[in-house]
Amino acid sequence: MNTSENVCAVLTQPFVRSEREATEEEIRTSLLSYGFTAELDGEYYTNGVYDIFDAVPNNVLYGIDGKCYFIDTIIYPTNKGGLNVYKSLSPRCSK
């Protein structure tokens, strides 16, 4: 699987049928299955091409199809300084 073909930003989503918010474990399992690794104790995930921040339960829905839908996460290209931007802006980031 080529991970770069599976990552995209969805700017509008009129309808996602979900059962509930995803749990932290479901989010982690989903991202790991796409080749991402957890960094800074799970504060962000990277696959070396993209960094994903703010992948927390209130930003990820667990769909009726059993998949996680990342609705309000932050995605930066790894080589564009995403981690530094995250550290400078996020109240969640370990200082």
Is residue 68 assigned to a domain?
Answer: yes
Q: Is the pTM of this model over 0.85?
A: no
Question: How many distinct structural domains can be found in the chain?
Answer: 1
Is residue 5 assigned to a domain?
Answer: no
Is residue 6 assigned to a domain?
Answer: no
pLDDT class of 45 with cuts at 50, 70, 90: very high
Is residue 44 assigned to a domain?
Answer: yes
Is residue 10 assigned to a domain?
Answer: no
Range of the domain at 28: 17-89
Cα end-to-end span (Å), the chain:
35
Q: Per-residue pLDDT tens for 65-95?
A: 888 988 888 888 888 776 677 677 666 665 5
Please list the residues that pair with 38 across neighbouring strands. Answer: 45
Is residue 2 assigned to a domain?
Answer: no
How is residue 73 written in tokens? 């996460």
Is residue 94 assigned to a domain?
Answer: no
Is residue 95 assigned to a domain?
Answer: no
